[in-house]
Amino acid sequence: MFRVQAFAVSGLALLFYIFDGQSAAQGAFYGGAIVLFNTWVTHRRLKSAQELAKIAPGREVTALYLAAIQRFVFTLVFFAVGMGWLQLDPVPMLVGFGVVQLSYFVSGFLISHKSIK
């Protein structure tokens, strides 16, 4: 899943670079990198929740809720940093975030659909 997202980030940044220039490519890459970071955090939290379920059953749900809140806060902070401090173009950043987030859902669907068969 992470490889699919990394490929989507790279391809999208390249397309923005070709059609809109370096500034747009940086924004698209940054927006996609936010999703990559969220994927990494989610993977870490799922592993720790699995371990927590073995030690203290029932507490893993709380850990997963806290992870969702953490991802939400990180996403807002990263967007604020990108648009405010780094002065990146907001539209490519949002497009990069949206496209890579969509690749997350599509690759997750394909992985789960493949494991069902």
Mean pLDDT by 10 residues, the chain (117 residues): 85 92 92 92 85 80 86 94 93 92 81 63
pLDDT for the residue 97: 94
Question: What are the CA-CA distances from residue 41 to residues 2, 35, 72, 108 (Å)?
Answer: 12, 10, 11, 16
pLDDT for the residue 117: 47
Structural contact between residues 67 and 41, judged by C-beta atoms closer than 8 angstroms: yes
Q: How far apart are CA 113 and CA 117, in angstroms?
A: 7
φ and ψ of 23, to 5 deg = -60, -45
pLDDT for the residue 66: 86
